[in-house]
Amino acid sequence: MQEALLMNINAIGIDKEDYSVNATIYNLKWFEKNFKFKAKWKVYHQDSRYLINFLREKPNVVATEPYMGVFFKKLPSSRQAIKVIREVEPLYFSVLSQLKSLGVKTVVFIVPRFVTSDRKLLRLDFPRILKRTGFNIISPFEKIKMPVVYRKREGNIEREIYILNNTK
């Protein structure tokens, strides 16, 4: 949100947890005291699976690092990873369906993938979610093919960063 505001783009945040909403508002209040920009910001304390019911604006672009399951202190077992995959798939499907209904054309979406303690790579069926919601993967930057895979040095999950569009 801060990066958008610095580019004078209005920014909206959504989170369902008190802690995250309060921390976001606290940070943004600090940010507006310390940086100059004219764009507006707003934070919804809501469940993004139902965003079409409460969002007053229609965003041009959405960027999200969604909930990616419980925090793993070490590499998860296959069973633990499959449990998270089953938990997050319906969340991602609901959010992308709502964004499709709202007519959002461009979405930056992060999807976790799991290297397990028995060295398997387990991934969501994200292609199926994209097919069902009508989003396509795009690679707008020459030489950078999506998804970009990212792993924090201390982290136990990998992230796939996608840029999606929906022209229907």
Ligand X SMILES: C[S@@+](CC[C@H](N)C(=O)[O-])C[C@H]1O[C@@H](n2cnc3c(N)ncnc32)[C@H](O)[C@@H]1O
The site for ligand X (CB under 6 A) is made up of: 14-17, 20, 47-49, 65-68, 91
* Burial call 149-167: b when 16+ CB within 10 Å, e when fewer: eeeeeeebbbbbbbbbbbe
Q: Whole-number minimum distance, CB 142 to ligand X, in Å?
A: 27
CB nearer ligand X, residue 28 or residue 130: 28
Q: Which DSSP letter does residue 2 get?
A: H
CB nearer ligand X, residue 37 or residue 44: 44
CB nearer ligand X, residue 42 or residue 49: 49
* Contact by Cβ (8 Å): 16, 44: no
Give 3-state DSSP helix, strand, coil % of the chain, rounded to 5: 35, 25, 40
Tell me the C-alpha to C-alpha distance, in Å, between residue 48 and each of 101, 112, 160.
Answer: 13, 18, 20
Q: Whole-number minimum distance, CB 1 to ligand X, in Å?
A: 9
Q: Whole-number minimum distance, CB 91 to ligand X, in Å?
A: 6
Q: Whole-number minimum distance, CB 143 to ligand X, in Å?
A: 26
CB nearer ligand X, residue 16 or residue 123: 16
